Amino acid sequence: MVRNLVIDITKKPTQNIPPTNEIIEEAITELNVDELLDRLFEKDESGEVITPSRIAKMLEEKAFEIYKEYEKQVREAYLSAGYSREKLEQSFQQARFSRGGKAFEIIFTKLLNKFGIRYEHDRVIKIYDYITEGEKPDFIIPSVRAFLNDPSSAILITVKRKVRERWREAVGEAQILRNKFGDEINFWFVGFDEEFTIYSAIAMLDNGIDRVYVIDGRYDSLIEEIKRISDPNFNEDKYIQKIRRFSDIFDDIIQFLNKHGNKKRGKQLTLV
């Protein structure tokens, strides 16, 4: 149940809508995500298996539903005050677009927290000692310090709600980091997009990305597309072993950390 907002019409309309992080926390509470995680890989009352991918999708949908309720409250208040409907809808449209990608990133953060996985978010990795700027993967697991001490003991992760052309940014970032720190780095890409293309997956894996994680609903069809490639020079196994379901990533991270001596990190998942 969304709360009634105290709306200040002297502000921009979208400034009255709670931050995305708060909305996702409301979604987590409404969906009782802790209970869902306790029943991970079991079937729910409808007979569907509870997976991390499904939980993320449910959170995304519930958060948008809550957002729309808040948007409705703001719309009614501003229209009652004589605000232009056209300008109002334009403002909402821009806000939905900017919040959409951020929402998935926050959901991924919340799931990392729920699994007890240590990470640092939006931290800069310096490439040149004399310049403060650098590369900024979305997540560094377990930490920047661990990465700098031993690049092979950490994971760099970029997450995208819509892959589109954005995977090319990840490729560029991975190549810059490899040039600086060597091929021992571990760079993973997460794309929560039903329209994830075979070209983007293969091109990433050929150009500096070590693993590609796709939304569960796209995984099977993407693998089938790879298997249908008939070129005798194409090594399908090379790609298939590096393309994983989104639901695999949390267990993969935990196993990686255990392998590198972080045995107290994270909650073990039971995969079926």
| Nearest alpha carbon to residue 62 among 110, 94, 134 | 110
- Asked whether the predicted pLDDT for residue 265 surpasses 70, the reply is no
8 A C-beta contact, residue 70 and residue 18: yes
Q: Considering only CA atoms, which of 268, 265, 263 is closest in space to residue 251?
A: 268
Is there a single domain that holds both residue 132 and residue 232? Answer: yes
pLDDT at 262: 64
**80 located within any domain:** yes
> What's the chain's length in residues?
272
3 located within any domain: no
Q: What digits encode the pLDDT tens for the residues 32-50? A: 999 999 999 999 999 999 9
User: What does the pLDDT look like over 201-217, one tens digit per residue?
Assistant: 999 999 999 999 999 99
Range of the domain at 218: 120-269
Tell me the DSSP string of 76-105.
Answer: HHHHHTT--HHHHHHHHHHHHHHHHHHHHH
Residue 1 lies in a domain: no
pLDDT > 90: percent of the chain: 90
What predicted TM-score, i.e. pTM, was given to this entire model? 0.91
Host H or E run for residue 244: strand 243-245
CATH number, domain with residue 265: 3.40.91.80
pLDDT band at 267 (very low <50, low <70, confident <90, very high): very low
Question: Does residue 272 surpass a pLDDT of 50?
Answer: no
Sign of CA dihedral 167, 202, 242, 175: negative
Q: What is the pLDDT of residues 70-91, one digit of tens each?
A: 999 999 999 999 999 999 999 9
219 and 136, same domain (yes or no): yes
Does 104 lie in the same domain as 143?
no
Count of domains in the chain? 2
